[in-house]
Copies of this chain bind each other. A is one copy, B any other.
Amino acid sequence: MEAELKDMIDDLESLKRSLPDSSLHASINKLELRVENLTKMAMSATARRSKVKDMSSEVVDSNPYSRLMALQRMGIVENYERIREFSVAIVGVGGVGSVAAEMLTRCGIGRLLLYDYDKVELANMNRLFFRPEQVGMTKTDAAVQTLADINPDVVLESFTLNITTVQGFETFMSSLRNKSFRPSKEGSGVDLVLSCVDNYEARMAVNQACNELNQTWMESGVSEDAVSGHIQLLIPGETACFACAPPLVVASGVDERTLKREGVCAASLPTTMGVVAGLLVQNTLKYLLKFGQVSSYLGYNSLKDYFPTMAMKPNPQCSNAACLERQKECILAKPARDAAAKAKMEAEASSATECSLHADNEWNISVVDDSNPDSVEATSADALPEGLTHELPNADDFKKSPAPGPTDTSIDDLDLLRKQLEALNAD
């Protein structure tokens, strides 16, 4: 718009020059004044904050990071500024994904990768983030527009594609592998993948990609009746993958991880989706900036304000081959991981309660391929992969139950999980 207005001033000037009668110059000057006013209006409407080189902790009204850097002074986070080094991929920019993206943008995350193929509709206006004037735009374009205005320091990359198609999945994989933002990073090019999709196939695609790349990710979901949701941390080989557990859960017909049914208009609420996005990004911040306890599973039943937590073991009979590979690597890496954890604990004797999920996920250990899925049983009980504990939905007692025999327990756990989810969903 500013360019258009500048051209108009030029046109008016040349018109003035070609006018024979200077008595008409006053009219032209009046028009020029109008254009100048319009330029000011247009410029103030698109005023953006300028980029910030360093995150300052200076307490002034003009510092967009003062309240975040205060987390260091309050003793919550050791080095907040590290957030600028991290890349997070958000798959699905809907009711949960868009709010998660806005939260991470306002927190000053280094780089965000956004994936969606849908367009903004008026029917999305009952959730936060998108605005009516964005109706018709792709969700990725609309999100980039809004997020770039909010925080120009964040590197935004958007992909308008469906990850469940062959071509979409390939682009998804190569975008996760791309390390141009931080070439020195081990593993993939992103630090975390957040799944904010609304259907089973897309979750299975994220699961496949993350198992193949040995990429830690978090899953999120909201039920079709809009009143419950969950977040879950998935570390390939260490926790259950999405293919390890859901068949049983889906079979009970009560979980939010069901297939999105054709012809059913799911209910949704900005409250439930805002809470799930908040819990998801809070878990993300705790994971990336290493503070507090990272939750492995956190449910939200809004009718009862009940928040069950639990941990899920990988299934040694998982149908996903990449998951089985990661499970084996995890078992072989256990001694090195234990030694590292012990050294860390001795170094920071004061923070003794830190849970295993904080351990660095990039062990850099190569593993011999062995396709016997029962190899888990050959190891001793305490050599089981991390994250095996089963936890009753009592959030504050993070006590690990003694690890029993591997195969049976895994089934027991899923049975118990199903019962808990049924109880959770029973009104």
- Residues of chain B within 8 A of A304, CB atoms compared: 292-293, 395-396, 398
Looking at the complex, which of A155-163, A222-230, A312-320, A334-342 is the stretch in contact with chain B? A222-230
Proximity string of chain A (256-295) to chain B, C-beta cutoff 8 Å, 1 when within and 0 when not:
0000000001111111101101110111011000011101
Looking at the complex, which of A60-68, A178-186, A373-381, A405-413 is the stretch in contact with chain B? A60-68
Quick one: which of B1, B132, B283 contacts A48, CB cutoff 8 A?
B132
Looking at the complex, which of A98-106, A246-254, A325-333, A361-369 is the stretch in contact with chain B? A98-106
A54 adjacent to chain B (CB < 8 Å)? no
A305 pairs with B293, CB closer than 8 A: yes
- Residues of chain B within 8 A of A293, CB atoms compared: 303-305
- Residues of chain B within 8 A of A393, CB atoms compared: 396
A345 adjacent to chain B (CB < 8 Å)? no
- Alpha-carbon distance A224/B425, docked complex (angstroms): 35
The B-contacting residues of A in range 211-256, CB under 8 angstroms, are 224-227
A4 adjacent to chain B (CB < 8 Å)? yes
Copies in the complex: 2
B225 pairs with A71, CB closer than 8 A: yes
- Chain A to chain B: the 5 pairs with minimum beta-carbon distance, closest first: A292-B303, A275-B278, A70-B267, A61-B121, A274-B278
- 7 new A-B contacts, CB < 8 A, other than A68-B126, A270-B281, are A49-B125, A61-B121, A67-B265, A70-B265, A75-B225, A76-B226, A107-B269
26 residue pairs of the A-B complex, CB under 8 angstroms, read A1-B42, A4-B37, A4-B41, A5-B38, A8-B34, A20-B20, A20-B21, A48-B132, A64-B122, A64-B126, A66-B123, A67-B127, A67-B265, A68-B269, A76-B227, A102-B270, A107-B269, A125-B151, A132-B150, A227-B292, A269-B282, A274-B277, A275-B278, A292-B303, A298-B305, A307-B307
